[in-house]
Amino acid sequence: MDRRTRVASVRKGQFGTREEPFPGRSVRRTASSGRSKPMRGPTKTLSVRAQNVLKELAVELTGEQAPKGSWIPSRELLLALTADRLAAARNCGPQTAREIVIWAQGCGVTIAPSLRAGRSLSEMWARLIANASTGALSSAEMIAALEKSIRRKSVRIPIAFQIILVKTLLSSFE
Average pLDDT over residues 26-35: 43
Three-state SS for 131? helix
Instruction: Give the C-alpha separation, 125 to 103, whole Å.
Output: 32
Q: Tens digit of pLDDT for each residue in 47-71?
A: 889 999 999 999 888 888 888 888 8
Per the domain annotation, does 151 fall within a domain? Answer: yes
Q: Does residue 111 belong to any structural domain of this protein?
A: no
Residue 4 lies in a domain: no
User: Considering the domain boundaries, does residue 113 fall inside one?
Assistant: no
Average pLDDT of the segment spanning 82-97: 85
Is residue 145 one of the residues assigned to a domain? yes
Residues 98 and 52 in one domain: yes
End-to-end CA distance of the chain: 84
Q: How confident is the model at residue 19 (pLDDT cuts 50, 70, 90)?
A: very low
Verify that 87 and 62 share a domain, yes or no.
yes
* pLDDT tens by residue, 100-159: 999 998 888 888 776 554 568 888 888 888 888 888 888 888 888 888 888 778 888 888
Domain extent at residue 77:
48-106
**Cα 121 from Cα 24, distance rounded (Å):** 43
DSSP H helical ranges for 1-138: 3-12, 48-61, 75-80, 83-88, 94-106, 121-134
Residue 136 included in any domain:
yes
26: in domain: no
d(CA 74, CA 55): 10
Q: How many domains does the chain have?
A: 2
125 and 99 within one domain:
no
Q: Are 81 and 125 found together in one domain?
A: no
